[in-house]
Structure 1
Amino acid sequence: MNRPLLVLTTALAPLAWGTTYLVTTELLPPGHPLFAGLLRSLPAGLLAVLLTRRLPRGTWWAKSVVLGALNIGAFFPLLFLAAERLPGGVAAAVAGAQPLIVLVLGALVLDERIRPLAAAAAVVGAGGVALVVLGPSAHLDLWGVLAALGGVTATGVGMILTKRWGRPRDVGPVAYAGWQLSAGGLLLLPLTLAWEGLPSEVDMGAALGYLWLGTVGGIVAYTLWFRGVQQLPVIAPGLLALLSPLVATTLGVLVAGERFTAIQAIGIVLAIGALTAGQLLTRPRMATRGEDHESAKATASALP
């Protein structure tokens, strides 16, 4: 797959995730975000494993649990805590810092050189998101900010490890996403039952919302996302993640009738310009770090 097409298909994931806020507020029962996260991950993950008939082998059992915990199992509870203690705009603004987190982690873990222009794009992108989502009534809560930072850091570390470990040579992207969704969903299951419980009623609108989150926002989005993370330079998908709060804000204006200001328009232009520049500034090389270290060592030992 050529790079422009890979970038576009990877961008479909944060575009889909940007619909989560509207679906949650308009269709789902209130007060059950963890249950929504559970239905977004576990059924889709188990279905993917069932359809592909591929289970992890060897060290990939542990790796799948780690990746599923970081990308899904840890992210949703921390997101829930941040949403409880912060206005939505503040939480989204903190999430806009993820490209910077990924940039630093990529340098530390993957030895990817930090390019000044890429770092500048990450800073501008985070600032653009802040202009879009922050309002004059925004207030900070220490634990809420820490939870939001913890959530984006968990997914940032998950991105880095996804790129570092790759995936087994004989395993496709659907099965690979299914492992992580299943692992993350199984970790969410006891948290959901102990913390929230089940909704008292699920109507047709809620059922359609859960179906959307589990299919388009779940297995489809995560399959495209993990493939892009593995093949693109690490900052590229990090910047594409900025699309999620931008889509959420746009849908709020178009569907929910929320106000849209000139400052928000400037923020959208800055964020889109930053994420576009980030794709152009990164190297065209799309090689991963190998399927996993065991496969790489085996290949190397077989060479003369």
Structure 2
Amino acid sequence: MQNRRIQLIFAGVTFAFLWASAAAATKLGLGSVQPFVLFVPRFFLAAFIMLFVSHVLLKKRLPRGKEWKQVAIYGLFNVSLYLGIYVLGMTEVSAGLGALATATNPVFISLMSTFWLRKPLQPVTVLSLVLCLGGIGVAAWPLLADSYATPLGLGLVLGSMVTYSIGSLYFSASKWHDLHIFTINGWQTLFGGIFLLPVMIGWYDPMQNHFSMVWLLSMLWLVGPVSIVAVLLWLFLLKDNPVNASFWLFLCPVFGFAISAVLMHEPLSVYTFAGVMLVVAGLYLVQRKRK
């Protein structure tokens, strides 16, 4: 029992750190290449690894029938739109704010599920959204003045959370039968990359892309530790207890700003602390309601 608890704590802390590190890795990579040049190759490489594990090592079946349509739609919202809009927003937002915004996903999912399921909008959902948006605004205030963020960038990052919520609800509402999670993730990531490939080619500018070691390390970090290891840890936590797993998201804003301060030398202030506390309070209300 004690060993199991230690495993869960280690998995939760590691997940939160890796998930939060994605914003800093993205910001570092954007210093070398265009947004889609950073993300689209990442999607194809991650998809190849997951599909190899699923179909070659684990011998899992291919999608069939309408499952192909489902993984394509899921990839459109969960990869193409969510991460496509997110990486554009990250060109004008600090890594810390990017991690803070990503942590609000459960709040947006809760809000979108109210409309999706046509249920009355509960006051706790509205309050949690207000707290999270207010927290992001407070944390962003000094960064806007110091050119670490722009209103457009914040709008894009928050807009990407909406598309992620739609994708998550679509995934929950779809019937996947016995299709393995590696198969679903692999194919939806591949479709997401395919949908964005024409955009990357159309906007490609050789003068804006320098394939340095920073770009390579950023992409490999986003593929391995973030897209594969963090997701596997998240699934491990969800399998044990979905409600308790969600509380590890509280650490993501803390790790996000800490990583960005160390690697990106982004400023920390009382506004940062107050913003993180407001977001954590909003997340707590959502998780308490869910529990």
Unaligned 5+ runs, structure 2: 56-60
- 1:214 equivalenced with 2:223 (yes/no): yes
**Paired residues for 1:153-192 under 5 Å:** 153-165=162-174, 167-169=176-178, 171-192=179-200
**Compared CA separation, residues 66 and 166, structure 1 to 2 (3 A):** same
- Matching residue of 1:276: 284
Report deviation, 1:59: 0.8
Summarize the alignment of residues 81-230 of structure 1 with structure 2, pairs less than 5 Å apart: 81-84=88-91, 86-88=92-94, 98-110=105-117, 114-135=121-142, 136-137=144-145, 139-141=150-152, 147-165=156-174, 167-169=176-178, 171-196=179-204, 201-223=210-232
* Structure 1 residues 278 and 186: alpha-carbon distance in aligned structure 2, compared to 1, 3 A threshold: same
Decide which of 39, 47, 70 is 2:49's aligned counterpart. 47
* AA matched with 2:151: L
Question: Counterparts of 2:9 and 2:162 in 1: how far apart (Å)?
Answer: 22
Per-residue CA deviations over 1:39-83 (Å, capped at 9, x if unaligned) read: 332211122112211321111101111111101111233234434
Alpha-carbon distance between aligned partners in 2 of 1:96 and 1:245, rounded to the nearest angstrom: 6
The one-letter code matched in structure 2 to 1:154 is T
Residue among 3, 19, 22 paired with 1:20: 22
CA distance in 2, matches of 1:173, 1:149: 27
**How far is the alpha carbon of 1:139 from its aligned partner?**
5.0
Distance 1:259 1:28, change over 3 A: closer
Where structure 1 has 5 or more consecutive residues not aligned to the other structure, the ranges are: 284-304
Contact 1:79 1:148 in 2 (8 A): yes
Match of 1:56, SS?
Answer: coil
Percent identity, please. Answer: 21
- The range that moved more, 37-46 or 24-33, is 24-33
Report SS of the residue matched to 1:254. helix
The alignment's TM-score, normalised by the length of structure 1, stands at 0.72
- Rounded to whole Å, the distance in 2 between the matches of 1:11 and 1:121 is 24
